[in-house]
Amino acid sequence: MQYKPLGNAVAVVLASMVGLAITASIKPIQAETSDDAAREIAARVSEEADSVAQPEPAVRSDVAKVGEPASQQVETLSEVEIPAIAKVFPHTADDRQAATVYVRNIPVLTFLGEVVEAETTKQSATEQRKLAANKIAPPDADQPLWKANKLVAEFNQLNRTGEVNGEEISVRWEDDLYIIEHGEDILVTLDDDAILPDTTGAAAEDALQATNRLRRLLGQEEAGPLTLVADLPAPPKPEPKQVVAYGGSFYEQGEASWYGPGFHGRTTANGESYNQWAMTAAHKYLPFGTVVRVTNLYSGAVAVVRINDRGPYAHGRVIDLSAAAANVIGMDGVASVRIDILN
């Protein structure tokens, strides 16, 4: 009974010593294992880091190059920021495929293509709008949308570079075509498939209007309008009205006019002094002194006059009566008449 506590104490001391020995033997192994794992992980991380491409440092676009003025650098950057001034609107016109070029929201030119079926007109226009939005040109260079996109790209490029001068945009005629040029470069050729959007019906007038719109809209400064197409031939002289002879007398039919106060007392083409109260008239080519009968086709009234002057020169007129003769046949302005030669 006396030795039992002592035995217990000895057992506790021995157990503690054994635990310390075991712990001391385990810790070096754990430390060695942890160090090896750490070195292996570090090696793998280093290998992966070496295999990843390092990003190149960003280059500031606003830093001027050595030897290049800062003002020039700013100008180069501003060119990139210039917005487009031209665009395309695909549509149909008189059942034909069409694409109109707008410059600064002003219609300048319309390109026309083939006739499309009525039931597919809406679908075709929609498809063309999608192509224009995606900047995808049809493979056929004869298609209006392809032509319009090509011209729009050229207009926008000229505007970005500032290389267009409105005063150098001109138009000339060649082989029934109207060619719009910038300097020596052809911009577009107007023909049956390239027209003014709001056509006047006169080819020369359309060409002038299209050219003047480009002179005003494309140039850095507005250029004055042109009034003539270069190399355009003079229009042919109108053919004389048909003159026939029947029933032994000369016959001609057309519009008659009259002249009076502003010419009274002046010298006529045959050397006489014009008297607006005399029964005389002017004709383009009948011999002086010829006596003719003038009949108002509306009222049937008749006047006999003598030719002593030349005219009229207004389009469509066949004879110019004195004030007295006009009064006899009841003219108020112009009248449709028949002319018969009496002698």
Tens of pLDDT, residue by residue over 17-44, are: 545 444 444 444 444 444 554 455 455 5
Average pLDDT over residues 205-229: 89
Same domain membership, residue 262 and residue 201: no
Residue 21 is predicted with a pLDDT of 47
DSSP 191: B
Helix (H) or strand (E) holding 295: strand 291-296
Average pLDDT, the chain: 76
Is the model's pLDDT at 63 over the cut of 50?
no
Query: For residue 11, what pLDDT band results from cuts at 50, 70 and 90?
Result: very low
Question: What beta strand segments (E) does 94-214 contain?
Answer: 96-103, 106-115, 169-174, 177-182, 185-190, 194-195
Domain of 300, CATH number, reads 2.40.40.10
Pairing between β-strand 106-115 and β-strand 169-174 as defined by DSSP bridges: unpaired
pLDDT at 118: 56
In-domain check, residue 49: no
329 and 270 together in one domain: yes
Domain identity same for 92 and 198: yes
Establish if 296 belongs to a structural domain.
yes
Residues 206 and 257 in one domain: no
212 and 93 assigned to the same domain: yes
pLDDT-based confidence at residue 149 (cuts at 50, 70, 90): very high
Q: Do 206 and 91 belong to one domain?
A: yes
pLDDT at residue 56 greater than cutoff 90: no
Quick one: pLDDT at residue 173? 94
Whether residue 132 lies inside any domain: the answer is: yes
One domain, residues 210 and 248: no
Other Cβ atoms closer than 10 A to 246 = 8
Read off the pTM.
0.46
Same domain assignment for residues 337 and 251: yes
For residue range 151-198, what is the model confidence (pLDDT) as tens digits?
A: 999 999 998 988 888 899 999 999 989 999 999 999 999 999 999 999
**Domain containing residue 148:** 86-217
Let me know if residue 334 belongs to a domain: yes
Are 115 and 184 part of one and the same domain? yes
> Is residue 56 in some structural domain?
no
Q: Name the β-bridge partners of 91.
A: 98
Rounded Cα gap, residues 315 and 229, in angstroms: 24
> Is residue 33 a part of any domain in this protein?
no
Average pLDDT over residues 65-81: 49
- Domain count of the fold of the chain: 2
E strand or H helix at 326, and its extent? helix 323-328
40 belongs to a structural domain? no
Q: How remote is the C-alpha of 324 from its chain's centroid?
A: 56
Residue 1 lies in a domain: no
287 and 328 inside one domain: yes
Distance in angstroms (rounded) separating the CA atoms of residues 88 and 135: 10
Residue 283 has pLDDT above 60, yes or no: yes
Helix or strand (DSSP H, E) at 50: helix 4-51
Of residues 141 and 227, more confidently modeled: 227
The confidence score (pLDDT) of residue 35 equals: 53
Whether residues 104 and 157 share a domain: the answer is: yes
3-state secondary structure 53-104: CCCCCCCCCCCCCCCCCHHHHHHHHHHHHCCCCEEEEEEEECCEEEEEEEEC
- 201 plus 324 within the same structural domain: no
Domain end call among 198, 217, 236: 217
